[in-house]
Each structure stands twice: as C-alpha cells, then as structure tokens.
Amino acid sequence: MNQETTITIPASETPYIEFKSEFVKAIDLAEEMIAFANAEGGEIWIGLNDDGTINGISRSYEEDIMNISRTACIPPLTVTYKDLKAGEYTVARIIVPKGKDKPYYSSRQKYYIRVGTTKRVASREELLRLFQVSGAIHYDIVEIDRAKQSDLDVSHVASYFSRYQLDFIDEPEPERLRLMANTDILGDAGNPTLAGLLIFGIAPERFIPSSGIALAHFSGNEITEDLIDKQNIFGPLPRQVEGAIAAIKSNMVVGSRISGLKREEAAHYPDKVFRELVTNACVHRNYSISGSNIRIFIFSNRIEFISPGPLPNTVTIEKLPVGVSFARNPTLVRFMENLGYVDKLGRGLPMVCQEAKKLNRQVHFQEIGQDFKVILSLQ
C-alpha cells in the first residue's frame, strides 16, 4: 500500500475536488471520473463525507478503481490512485486528468460534465461542444435556420468565386445555388451555414450575436484601470480582422528615443503578428459557446487575445510554439485561407513567437476554463 505519512485534506468540495464515502457505488464513481475528464480534471477523495469529516476506508481499493476507470468509463481513463494516512484513518485519493479523448461517457450511455461541485448529464449544447473538441463534428457547417440566402452579400460571394475564374453573377440561379452548396456556403436545406454567414453575411451578428470582437484599452496593467478606448467590432470575419488590427494600431503607444539629432521610434511588432493573432482567434474559437465574444485587452505592458473555447483534444499549449494546429472550424479555415488570411501549414504562432524573441519579449499561452488566451508582451 502506497501511503504518505502526513497529508492535508481539502477543506471542502470544489469544482476540482469531490468527496465520497467508502460505500460509493462503482457506477457513481465512474460517473464522477467521467465528469472530471470531460472538464479540466480533478480529484476524488474516498473516505470523506460531503461535509469533509473523515470516516476512512477499511482496505485499499486500488485494483477496484483501476477496473472501474477502464471498464465503466468509455473511452477508458488512466487515473492515479494513492492510499494516504490522515491521523488514525486511511483515505484514498484518485487523480483524474483532463481527458485527451473527449467526450467520455458511462456504460449506461450517459455523458457527464462537472458544474460547480456537482456532476450532471450534459445538455445538448454542452454535448455538442464536447464533440467539437474531439473533432467528431464541425459546428461551422451547421445551417442557421433563421438566415436566408438574402442575408448573404452577393458581391462578396461573387468576388470569392472570381478567384477561380467563375463569373458568379452571370451564372443561372440553379448553378449559383449549386456552387454555394458545394462550397458549404449553403447547407443541404438551402440555408446559409455558420461559416457562410461569418464570411459572406451582410450582418452575421443578427443571427450569431456572440460572433464579434470586443476591444478594450486600459490605462495601466490591470482590468480595473480606467478605460482609454472601447470598441465592439462586428460584421463578416474579414472585416472584423481588418477592423481589429486598425483598432490595435490606433491604441498602441509607440515609444521613441533620440539618436544623434534624430528621433527614432522604438522597435515594435509588425502588423503580421496582430493579423495572425486576431485571425487565429476568429477561425479557431468555439462558436457554439453563446454569450461570449472574442476579447482583445490592451494594457500598458501586454495585449491579451482571448477566444471562447479551450484547445481541442490533440493540441496542447506545449505544442503551439512549434506549429502544431487543429482546425476546429475547417470550413472557416478554408475560406480564410483562400482569402489570404490563414496559412494552414501551422506557421502562424511560431512566427509570432519568433517576432517576440527578436524584440526580447515573450508570448504566453493559457487555458482558463472555457477560454484560450494568448498574452503578447509589450515590454
């Protein structure tokens, strides 16, 4: 039995800590593991009551826990088990890592998520997000039922097809519909897809309210500082990207120094760095998460680019600087690549890191809950 002589018992249950008695049912334990794996991971302590009082365990349950994690959780989970001494009692700690093969479900065919200090069956929208993270479905080709073909800007569609020597305007109506359907601008029922609206829509925010960019410039290094500027940028994604880049540049304070009799501007990031980070946020964010726009926060010492949705299953923060990528929205990526905004070879973030290094600055990547954040140092 692997024991530690002294341990600190968590004071209470949290979104990452769950207490269970020794007599918890195997299926209930499996469901707790699944909920943690479908979220950010967590710990299950066996031998504690809900209020944190200790009643201990009578024997080691390591073999039982390993069997449960491999047979009652689908796909199987790899967890860590330890028996620990807590005064006169022995308790068990099960560490459940953040799942790499989401979504996980139980042998009863139920998908669980962690909400606060409890688990519950995932709703349709939450399950959709889990499948998106796994790459099993792509939300960008979902049809927007309330949208119509008249909500698309025909001139933008025509300009797009002109890149392929196609005169979209002069084509007969059936051929135009076929072209838009074959390129996923329209779905099977003839309604615009999410990707079609985001690229070619006249006002996509009418149907996808959280599809814009919120930019804020603060006077200091904290979000509590006074606001210098605040902008909400909407419209099709190419317009959002250009609008956000212009807003960032207009809010950037470029330092200077005197060299001889001349004033020289201090070195700063090239436009391609801002273009990459804004475009990356637009094409890779999770559009199934409602109520949250992309946020760009400009502080005195940094810029933060925050996009809704954690990294997909196969991508980790450690892999980003070397160019590993995964297209959560492959149709959006294809459109933006064809329009010249995206390099699908995964060279964008490595370029950002290289440009920061040239200026002796740093780039940090963070996953915080359901958000992914890129922090670009300005000093």
Mean pLDDT score, 49-67: 94
pLDDT at 326 over 70: no
Task: Quote the tokens at residue 331.
Answer: 């149709």
| Predicted confidence band of residue 6 (pLDDT cuts 50, 70, 90) | low
Bigger pLDDT: 316 or 296?
296
Q: What integer pLDDT is reported at residue 142 of this predicted model? A: 87
The residue whose two tokens read 């953040």 is 98
> Could you tell me if residue 95 is left (phi over 0), alpha (psi between -120 and 50 degrees) or otherwise beta?
beta
pLDDT at 218 over 50: yes
pLDDT digits (tens, 9 = 90+) for 202-214: 999 999 988 999 9
Least confident range of 99-108, 250-259, 302-311:
250-259
Please count the residues of the chain.
Answer: 379
Distance between CA atoms of residues 339 and 163, nearest Å: 9
What are the domain boundaries of the chain? 17-122, 139-204, 213-377
pLDDT at 345 over 60: no
Average pLDDT of the chain to the nearest whole number: 88
Q: How far is CA 220 from CA 132, 205, 297, 349, 360, in A?
A: 37, 31, 11, 26, 21
Q: What integer pLDDT is reported at residue 256 of this predicted model? A: 46
Tell me the CATH class for 17-122.
alpha beta
114 beta partners: 119
Q: For the chain, what percent of residues have pLDDT higher than 70?
A: 90
Mean pLDDT score, 13-31: 95
Q: What integer pLDDT is reported at residue 5 of this predicted model? A: 47
Distance between CA atoms of residues 181 and 195, nearest Å: 12
Environment class of 241 (CB within 10 Å of its CB; exposed 0-12, middle 13-18, buried 19+): buried
213-377 to CATH, choices 3.30.565.60, 3.30.930.10, 3.40.630.10, 3.40.50.2300: 3.30.565.60
Question: Is this structure's pTM higher than 0.85?
Answer: no
Q: How far is CA 320 from CA 102, 131, 224, 349, 353, in A?
A: 20, 22, 30, 7, 10
